[in-house]
């Protein structure tokens, strides 16, 4: 900016402020710790990244952010603590103690009609991710009949994808409404009545309809997760071009790409 450059040369105060700003630029402003991120290394972590004690908890943490950790070749997992798992464990113990019945929670029946009936009636209090006024209302309208219906509701019930829930419900109860922008999408989306529901749906569309390799599809997923505008725009153009190159009309490709990109940013993996 010419005016700022002129002030920098002529005014001592402005020069001092800008010089100080240059020294501060890029410096870490504060330290925070990821709520669930765990970095895994083949040897002691200090061989790969500077470490320090967590100011609040005293545990050893890396001084790198998530991007630098990835660049260093380290693996980061998000291990989220879920209180409901403790509740389930307690319930299993109580059933065994009071009724003498041992429940293998890892091998429960996934097509239990009583459970679907219960959800269809809106009896969701205390059910992890299925309770709450909005979700309960949708479950009553949906009347789930398979574990896939429940999975889909959990995946779609979040800002953005939530707009697809009415369409999912309508298509479930009236299969004549199920349509696909391209016949090849039927193999990918038939279980969700033609509604893009999971990240996996988008990856398979990229592979089978746009000619992506598995590696390219995973790079697409990563790029959208980082939410860098320039990268997202480049991936959008690449996906649209791939769809057209592999047989989709430009009009349909332009219609599908925004849907896929929006889905990839926020939907769950299965």
Determine the pLDDT at residue 104: 92
Half-sphere exposure of 92 (CA within 13 A, CB side): 13
Please answer whether residues 269 and 198 qualify as being in contact, where contact means their C-beta atoms are separated by less than 8 angstroms: yes
Q: What pLDDT was estimated at residue 265? A: 65
Q: Could you give the CA distance from residue 226 to residue 235 in angstroms, rounded to a whole number?
A: 12
CA distance 130 to 246: 40
pTM above 0.85, yes or no: no
Instruction: Say what the pLDDT of residue 135 is.
Output: 96
How much is the pLDDT for 159? 81
Q: What is the pLDDT of residue 268?
A: 47
Which pLDDT score, from 0 to 100, does residue 266 have? Answer: 58
Which pLDDT tens digit goes with each residue over 90-101?
999 999 999 999
C-alpha dihedral over 247, 249, 250, 253, to 10 degrees? -80
Cβ atoms of 178 and 193 within 8 Å: the answer is yes
pLDDT of residue 13: 94
Positions in the chain short of pLDDT 50? 267-270
Burial class (CB in 10 A: 0-12, 13-18, 19+), 230: exposed
């Amino acid at each position: 900016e010419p005016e700022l450059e002129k002030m920098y040369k002529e005014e001592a105060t402005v020069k001092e402020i800008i010089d100080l700003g240059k020294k501060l630029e890029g410096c870490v402003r504060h330290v925070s710790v990821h709520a669930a991120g765990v970095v895994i290394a083949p040897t002691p972590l200090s061989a790969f990244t500077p470490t320090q004690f967590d100011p609040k908890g005293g545990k050893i943490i890396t001084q790198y952010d998530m991007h630098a950790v990835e660049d260093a070749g380290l693996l980061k997992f998000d291990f989220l603590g879920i209180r409901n798992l403790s509740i389930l464990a307690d319930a299993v113990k109580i059933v065994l103690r009071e009724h003498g019945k041992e429940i293998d929670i890892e091998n429960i029946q996934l097509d239990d009609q009583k459970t679907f009936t219960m959800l269809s009636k809106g009896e969701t209090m205390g059910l992890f991710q299925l309770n709450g006024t909005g979700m309960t209302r949708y479950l009553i309208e949906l009347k789930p009949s398979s574990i896939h219906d429940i999975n889909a509701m959990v995946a779609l019930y979040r800002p953005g994808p939530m707009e697809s829930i009415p369409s999912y419900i309508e298509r479930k109860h009236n299969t004549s409404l199920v349509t696909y922008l391209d016949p090849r999408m039927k193999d990918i989306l038939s279980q969700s009545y033609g509604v893009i529901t999971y990240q996996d749906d988008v990856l398979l569309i990229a592979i089978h309809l746009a000619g992506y390799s598995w590696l390219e599809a995973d790079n697409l997923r990563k790029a959208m997760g980082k939410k860098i505008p320039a990268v997202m725009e480049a991936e959008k153009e690449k996906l649209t071009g791939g769809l057209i190159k592999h047989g989709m009309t430009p009009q349909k490709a332009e219609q599908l790409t925004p849907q896929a990109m929006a889905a990839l940013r926020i939907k769950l993996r299965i």
